[in-house]
Structure 1
Amino acid sequence: MLLEKLRAEVLEANLELVRRGLVLYTFGNASGVDREQGLVVIKPSGVDYDDLRPEHMVVTDLNGKIVEGNLNPSSDLDTHTLLYREFPAIGAVVHTHSEYATSWAQAGLDIPALGTTHADYFYGPIPCTEPLTDEAIGGRYVHETGVAIVKRFAGIDPMAVPACLVAGHAPFVWGKTPDDAAHNAVVLEAVARMAIRTVQLNSLAGVSQSLLDRHYFRKHGANATYGQKS
């Protein structure tokens, strides 16, 4: 069986989404990529999470061609593979329809940086794409979803802001590993929930650039001070 370790990691990321209440029924998916082999491992489409096993994960190449697996891959495969091709630093992608992040996506709004919890993970607003055109929706819809994300990230480092809201749809989140991507998806939902409550209390709320810098760079970059040194 190809990529046994990555299969187990992708399965665990999918199950983490369930444990954290980010998916309902068979909604959502997680994948991971092996850059050396150019292969992607992704959850199969429409299979109950309680039934998932490592051997059920589907292996494809970076263009979505199935290399190993008897089940159909996630219907969002073309978005995942496009993100892997366009964002070479990422190692995993997660897609959910979590309640609060999806609310921002359905409103077509970026999630503004409003405090230090946001700044610890996202270096600036979490962007929302432009709505897909009727032509895009009627054509290669899943591929065009990825195109909209990549277009929105022009000038934005995807590793500094590891999430995007797809207008009218829901969030896509990524990370260095499947566990990292799932972790970021959980934090995104918490940040989205707090942001909704914050703007209800004070529509003019925001965070200063100096506070954003202080909190982001204490966790990220060469001079990060958060946590223990190995």
Structure 2
Amino acid sequence: MNIHEIVQLTALEAAPRLLGKMISRITEDGEIRCRIVETESYGGAEDKGSHAYGNRRTARTEMMFRQGGYAYIYLIYGMYHCLNVVTGDENDPQAVLIRAVEPLTPKDEQLMLKHRPAAARQLKNISNGPGKLCQALSIDKSCNGLHLLASGGTLRLEDPPEDIFYDIESGPRINIDYAQEYAAKPWRFYIKNHPYISAKNTTPLPYLLERPPIL
């Protein structure tokens, strides 16, 4: 499924399908490209973990009510930005948090290290968390509302040259104890055993995506 089709889905459907897709970020130092390896779904007004729970519509959450394909950027702890992909239909608040990415090439890795030099001792720490990856890709609130499918955009989602089918695991989302019965929903998805994921589940659940028929 290509990226244009994925952003039309609900967040829960889109989150595992974004794994393996690529992000392109144009910075003052050059283009950085990376692969998405971990996501979390925040979908619908009923999700108590979502900023838009109960159709809460504020200046902050307004972006979640857009048509799928836009970037929703917010700040946590007053210092870390988080990148989300808005999905689904207009006026239905759906978003997928990008939790971890891996650089595609040594050049991408070096450009990311310019923004996160502290990660040099352990390279997976460049981007194995939502705040870390935003630092590494120089993503901040100025990116809020960017169309991620726009040709030539400074922040874009892209399909890889060829589809690779990964073993995917799922488990509860991170740090949302406030979400009551929604805190335990297995709505975090990641590529199994990938070194860049932010955390492993103690009891991971396998998640199977449909594969195209062999012709």
User: For this structure pair, what is the TM-score category when the shorter chain's length is used for normalisation?
Assistant: under 0.3
Question: Comparing both chains, which one has the higher relative contact order based on Cα–Cα distances under 8 Å and sequence gaps of 6 or more?
Answer: 2
Where is the helix percentage greater, Structure 1 or Structure 2?
1
Structure possessing the higher radius of gyration over alpha carbons: 1
TM-score by length of 2: 0.26
